[in-house]
Structure 1
Amino acid sequence: MKIGKLPPDLLQRLVIARRGVARREVLVGPAVGEDAAVIDVGGRYLAVHTDPISGSVKLLGYLAVYIPTNDIAVRGVEPMWLSTALFLPPGADDSVLDMITRQIDEAAGRLGVMVVGGHTEVTTAVTRPMAVATAMGVGDRYVSTGGARPGDVVIMTKSAGQEAASILATDFREEALRRGVKPEAVARAERLALEVSVAREALALADLATSMHDPTEGGLANGLAEIAYASGVSIDVDRGKVVVYREVEALCGAFGIDPLETLSSGVLLATVPRGRLDEAVERLEALGVPHAVIGEVKPPSGYLVRIGGKIYTRPYVEDKLFTFF
C-alpha cells in the first residue's frame, strides 16, 4: 500500500464496514469525508475524533492539538478535551519530549482545551516521534460534511497548502534554502504553524453553514471532493479565487508540490446558502480571518470537483508531501 490515507474503496471494505454493532445514539459514524463522530448524549451532541500525527517532528506538539480539535470545531462544536498518546523511538532524549509537551500545553491553552489523559512510551515500533490524539467536545447542534446543497456558495479561510509549507519550512529548512527559497519566505512559512487551528471561524459559522470541513491530506482539492462525495453533489471552483500565500507558493514550488493538493490544516471549507453569504463574510471579517468565496455547489454532474480545468472524480488525492519523509 502507498504511504498516506487509504483509497476510499479499500477504507470502506476493510475498515469502515467493520465497526461492531450499530447503536442508535450514534448519529454520525465512520464515513468517507466525515470529520468526527457525533453521539447523542441526552439531547446534546458529543463530537469525537482521533488523528495520528506522523509527518512533522518539529511541529508535532502543535499539530497533535490543532489537527484533531479542528475536526471537532468543523462539527460546530467547541473542542474541550484531548487525550494524547506519544510514541518515541529508542535514543530520543528528554529534550524531544520536552519540546512536544510544551507545544501541546501552549496550543491547548490557546484553545481552552484540557489534556485529560493519554499515554507516553519509547518503542521500536517508530523511527521518529509520533502522536495519536483524540479530541472531544459537547454542543447543542452539529454540522456534517455531507450537508452541502446545490446553490450554496463555498468559502475558504487562510491559504491552501499552508500546513505543508510550515512543515517544509521547519523539518526541511536547509533543503528549502538549498533549493532557492528565500530565508524571509521560509521564516514566514514557519510562523504558519501557529495558524493551523480553524476553531474560531468554524464556531462563528456553525449556525450558518450547511457543511464544514478541515482539508488535511490531499489538501483543498481532496477536502472539496470529500464534501461533494459526502453530500452527493458537484462543486465548481474558480481557480483564480483560491488563496495561496506567496510563501506557500515558494515552498511548495521548490519541492514540486501542488499547494491545492497538499496538507492544508488551518483552512476552513464551508458551504453557506447564498442568501446568508453576507452574514458569513461579516462574521469572518469581525474575527480578522482571511477568507475568500471560491465556488458554488452544483447538482451532481458526473464529477465531484472542478477547479478551473481540472476534474476530480474520487475523494482521494495523493499527497506528495509524504514522499519526503
Structure 2
Amino acid sequence: MKSSRLLSILLLLQNRGRLTAAQLAAELEVSVRTVYRDVEALHAAGVPLYGDAGHAGGYRLLDGYRTRLTGFTSTEADALLLSGAPGPAADLGLGPSLAAAQLKLRAALPAELRAQATRIAARFHLDAPGWYTEDADLRFLRQVADAVWHSRTIEVRYRRWKEPTDVDRRLEPYGLVLKAGRWYAVAGPGPRTYRVDQILALTPTAEGFQPPPDFDLADYWQRHQADFHARLHQEEATVRLSPAAAARLTGAAARALAATGSTETDGWTRAVLPVESADQAHAFFLSLGAEAEVLAPAALRARLAETAAALAVRYAGPAPEAEPPTAAAP
C-alpha cells in the first residue's frame, strides 16, 4: 500500500540519515520512479524532506525533525514484543532496559494493540537454550560486548579443544552472536569465532581498531555455519536400521535416511548415513543397540563387534554382590 510505503520512507530517512533514490528503491523493492513520486507526496504533505544532487547527494530530513507516528500493524507489534528475549538481554546487562523499552512500546501502541500485546506476553515465552545445556560461564560477556561496542582490542586467555589447550590471544572483537543458548565472539585477526564461555581471563586495552569495511556479521555467521556443517560430516557408514531406530534419527542423519534409504523384506531400512568420526559413530550406533547393524566401513563394524563381545562377557554371569560401604574413620 502507498501509505505504508510513505511511512517506510519517512522512517528509513529518520533512522539512517541521507539515502539516495536508488537505495530507497532497493529497500522498498520498487522502482526509482516510484520513489520520486512518493517523495513528491511527502513534500505535499508538509514533511520537511529535501534532496541534494551530485555524487554524494540523496534525500534527507530537516535536522531535528522526528515523527511520533509508528504505524504498527498487529503482527508487527506482536513480532517486536516476542523479539525481546529476557535471557540474552540479562546476559548483556540490559534486562532493566529491555523491560523499560517494552513498557514504552506498549504505551505507544493503540488501545486494541496494547490489549493484544498483553495477551501475547501471557501466552508466549521464549527460552532459547536446549534442555540439557549447563549454565555457561559468562563472567566476561559484558566486557566483550563493551569492547565490541567501543571497537577496543582485548587480551584473553582462551581454552580450545586441541593442544596446547590454553592459549593467549589479542583479539579485535567485531561482533557477538547468540546461537542455541551460547554466546560467540567473532574477532580478528581472521576473523575467527570464539566461545565466550571458554575465555578464562580477559584484560581490556585502550587500543582501538576498525573492522574491515566490507565485514558483515550476519553474512560471516551464515558462511561460518555452512563451513562448519560441511566439515562436520566428512565420513559415512552403510547401515541397516529397524523402524524404531530409523524413527530416532534427526538432523543430517534423518535427511540422509530419506535420501538414500531403501526398505528391505524384513521391514528394516538400508541407508548411507553421514558420521563425524569413528569415535562418534561407535558411540552413536552402540546407543541404538540391536536395532541397528553397521555394514561398512569394516573397521567400524569390527570395533562394534568387539565392544558387543566384551559386553556379552561382562553380563554373562550373575552380578557381583555389592560390598557394603566402608565406615568413615572417626
Q: TM-score under structure 2 normalisation?
A: 0.24
Name the structure, 1 or 2, with higher relative contact order (CA <8 Å, separation 6+).
Answer: 1
Higher helix proportion, which one?
2
Give the TM-score, by structure 1 length: 0.24
Q: Is the radius of gyration larger for structure 1 or structure 2?
A: 2
